[in-house]
Amino acid sequence: MFSKACKYAINAMIYISTLPGGNDRVSLKDISKAINSPEAFTAKILQVLVRENLLSSIKGPNGGFEIHEDGRKTQLYRIVQVIDGDQIFIGCALGLEKCSEDHPCAVHNKFKAIREHLAGMMLTTSLEDMAKGIKNGTNFLKI
């Protein structure tokens, strides 16, 4: 459903959200290890998240990545939108270019309900919500 880049972005943002607040920063190496992702690929993804103001990046010996002050309130929807775009929320399930209410594909009406439910779930799920399960040990970022 999500691209590999999107999965890594979500996991990276959740991981960073599990860290104690304040000025704690986490290195690229630590993020990659925590989410079991290739370091170079993770670096590219994190650069996009920084460019879109979802993360901050500080260079130097005490540098690393950190979430903005109110970043833990970031919705899952926003992360998906930044990395994969809106296609999952507006695109045709069968990949047709001109699927619409007026010209629906064979699964348009059923898939529309699923898309709306998915968007609603992502709009009401924050990093803070997802990080809670990681912190208390009921959810995991890797096996």
pLDDT in tens, 85-113: 998 998 899 999 889 999 999 999 999 99
Query: Taking each helix axis from N to C terminus, what angle separates 28-35 and 4-18, rounded to the nearest 10 degrees?
Result: 110
| Residue 82 located in a structural domain | yes
For residue 140, being part of any structural domain is answered with no
The answer as to whether 143 is a domain residue is no
Grouping H, G, I as helix, E, B as strand and the rest as coil, residue 57 is strand
Cβ neighbours of residue 34 closer than 8 Å, sequence gap 6 or more: 15, 141, 142
- Model pLDDT for residues 117-133, shown as the tens digit of each residue: 999 999 999 999 999 99
Number of domains in the chain: 1
**Separation of alpha carbons 49 and 71, rounded Å:** 11
The predicted pLDDT at position 23 comes to 56
Q: Is residue 142 part of a domain?
A: no
Q: Is 46 part of any domain?
A: yes
Alpha carbon of 15 to those of 3, 74, 81, 83: distances in Å?
18, 13, 19, 17
Is a pLDDT exceeding 60 seen at residue 5? yes
Q: Kindly state whether residue 28 falls inside one of the protein's structural domains.
A: yes
CATH number, domain containing residue 53: 1.10.10.10
d(CA 30, CA 25): 10
Query: Could you read off the pLDDT of 35-88 as tens digits, one per residue?
Result: 999 999 999 999 999 999 999 999 988 889 999 878 889 999 999 999 999 989
Domain span including residue 125: 4-135
